[in-house]
Amino acid sequence: MPEGPEIRLAADQIAKVIENQIIEDIEVGLAHLHSPAQKLKGEKVEEVETRGKAMLIHFCNGLSVYSHNQLYGVWKVVKRGTLPKTKRSLRLALHTKSNSALLYSASDIAVYERHDLVQHPFLSKIGPDILNKDLKWESVAERLLDKRFRNRSLSILYLDQHFIAGIGNYLRTEILYAAGIHPDFKPKQLSPQQLESLARQTLIIGKRAYATKGHTVPKALGEKLAKTKGSYESVRFMAFNREGLPCRDCVTPIVKAQRNGRRIYWCDLCQLTP
């Protein structure tokens, strides 16, 4: 599933071609969208934003398109009149005079009055966006110690969108690795220094993944790894998807396990168990 940084990157590309543009035509591939989509035809797009893993396209007439890619959804941006080669099902197409934003495979798509989004069953419950420029590490630390979250293992908490929106499986592994904290810890077990480290790394890793299009290794290491001509996965991460490979800091083999039904990775030496 695309995580917050990937959804924000997709939103950036979409915004380049449809923000402040008139949507001249719309195609939909889901029956429930046929009627509301007609209200968007001929309207100008005001803004494209993301909240966690959800994307919102706001129109000047007060309507908004909500979409969540879930596991299989993907956005494509093309010149109008062309289509990418894909076997995916087209769910939504927004056509300006010269470009098109196309959403494939997703099923969680709807049109809302913008003022009603505060009551959306997903958006109304999620925590602050990991890429929110106003989110500070102190706020993340406070949330870690909130009674709703303090007694939950970090491996579970860091997939809960109620805690911080936009964190998914690879970010969970990479944040905990960067903070040097084992995923089986609970926030209430952490020292003040560990809490600060974890809160800071939550934001650092999230912003790094956005800035580098999905890479979480530090800049200097990333530049070094780029020269090795390794696979895309082998140069992206510090721990995720590196089972059995040496830790980049201490050469202990990276461990893979299951937590909350999802794969997770850590270093047994750098991230000691509770």
Residues assigned a catalytic role: 2-3, 53, 262
Supply 201's token pair.
């790394």
Nearest alpha carbon to residue 41 among 27, 23, 55? 23
Relative orientation angle of helices 169-179 and 192-211, to the nearest 10 degrees: 130
Using only the alpha carbons of the chain, give its radius of gyration.
20
Question: What's CA 144's distance to the chain center, in Å?
Answer: 20
